[in-house]
Amino acid sequence: MTPPEPIITRFAPSPTGYLHLGHAYSAKLAHDFAVNNGGKFLLRIEDIDQTRCKPEFETAIYDDLHWLGIKWELPVRRQSDHGRDYQNALNVLQKKDLLYPCFCTRKDIQQEIIQSGYAPHHLGLDHESEPPYPKICANLSEPEKEAKYEAGTVYALRLNMDKALDILGSEKLIWSDLVAGEQWASSEILRDVIGDVVLARKDIQTSYHLSVVVDDHLQNISHVIRGADLFYASHLHRLLQFLLGYRTPIYHHHKLLTDENGNRYAKRDKSLTLHHLRKQGQDPKNIL
Ligand code: GLU
């Protein structure tokens, strides 16, 4: 009999603002699940976007969690220290010819979308109003690419979703979500909603989706406990796990906390940040 896998959960905030009550809920859920099952709880700082991350927000993450009495294993993984891991994953995808350079600006993409008369797909997703990339750079010839490289045009790397789905063929990519039950990657969502997603941004040579999948793998996360706003991202994460040869964790997408008007908590609501509540002298027990 194979021994049961160790339970390892994580809380993975981005230091782009102060944590709010929703973060406290998410961190506590992940922490308690690990501790109650004899597992480990990790903290990961998702700071790849150095233009939006600030050291004071990172410090506040540690202080807020300490204040709430939530303890994590050391060392903390800071994504900005691990560019090489993301590059290695990109190399694997590149070898399978699954990436292509995209030289488009945001404006190029918007113009193309308007011209094509894009009609959104109604799959009931939060982000259905954001159309997939219209594949402008998907079929550039080698000389066209060379000319752009030579001119020093910066580029992102996009996943060629059609090729990825060809590799997948008829295989069904399943995962289990402790709230929503068994799930499987939908080619409709992958092709028509997510599309040729950026895996390496022009400025940071990685992306949220790539980094989170690589890190969950390298840190042996057994249960990804996070907000329901990332529920549909799991279709892409599951596909990337398949393409990179990683095993798939169990997911738990928890409901998002809302204020009395039904609005989600956001980092911009200053009065409801943990930092503010802590400085006000609130009792952390009341928060929990
Ligand atoms: N860094 C993400 C955030 O702050 C969370 C990523 C995840 O849990 O997968 O929203």
Architecture of domain 1-81+258-288: 3-Layer(aba) Sandwich (3.40)
Coarse DSSP helix, strand, coil percentages of the chain, rounded to the nearest 5 percent: 40, 15, 45
3 CB neighbour count, 10 Å cutoff: 5
Quote the pLDDT of residue 121. Answer: 57
Please tell me the CATH code under which domain 83-250 is placed: 3.40.50.620
Provide the CA 55 distance to its chain's centre, in angstroms. Answer: 21
Ligand 1 midpoint to CA 251 (Å) = 13
> Measured in angstroms, how far is the CA atom of residue 112 from the centroid of ligand 1?
30
pLDDT at residue number 134: 95
- Map out the domains of the chain as residue ranges: 1-81+258-288, 83-250
Ligand 1 centroid – CA 143 distance (Å): 39
Among all chains, which residue has been given the structure tokens 């393409």? Answer: 243
User: What pLDDT digit, counting tens, does each position of 233-274 carry?
Assistant: 999 999 999 999 999 999 999 999 888 888 888 777 777 899
Query: Model confidence over 177-189: pLDDT tens digits?
Result: 999 999 999 999 9
Instruction: Say if strands 198-200 and 156-159 run parallel, antiparallel, or are unpaired.
Output: antiparallel
Pocket test for ligand 1, best of 42, 61, 208, 238 (most atoms within 8 A of CB): 208
How many Å lie between the centroid of ligand 1 and the Cα of residue 13?
5
**Residues 113-156: tens digit of each pLDDT:** 888 877 655 555 555 457 899 999 999 999 999 999 999 999 99
Give residue-wise pLDDT tens across range 62-80. 999 999 999 999 999 999 9
**Fold agreement (1-81+258-288, 83-250):** yes
Tokens found for residue 175: 């995962």
Tell me the average pLDDT across 202-222: 97
Which residues line ligand 1 at a C-beta cut-off of 6 Å?
12-14, 46, 212, 226, 230
Q: For residue 29, report the phi and psi dihedrals to the nearest 5 degrees.
A: -60, -50
Q: Give residue 260's pLDDT.
A: 82
Look at ligand 1, atom 10, and give the residue with the nearest C-alpha. Answer: 13
- Token duo for residue 100: 């292509």
Convert 143-159 to b/e letters by CB count within 10 Å (16 or more is b). eebeebeeeeeebbbbb
Average pLDDT value over all residues in the chain: 93
The residue contributing the CA closest to ligand 1 atom 4 is: 13
Confidence at residue 120, expressed as pLDDT on a 0 to 100 scale? 59
241: three-class secondary structure by DSSP: helix
Does the model's pTM come out above 0.85? yes
pLDDT for 267 equals 75
- Apex CA 14: angle with CA 9 and CA 18, to 5°? 110
Q: What are phi and psi of 252, to 5 degrees?
A: -140, 100
Length of the chain: 288
Atom of ligand 1 lying closest to residue 229 CA: 10
Which residue's CA is the nearest one to ligand 1's atom 3?
13
What is the Å distance from ligand 1's center to 261 Cα? 24
Contact (CB, 8 A) for 167 and 96 = yes
Confidence of residue 285 (pLDDT cuts 50, 70, 90): very high
Cα of 147 vs centre of ligand 1, distance in Å, is: 37
pLDDT of residue 18: 96
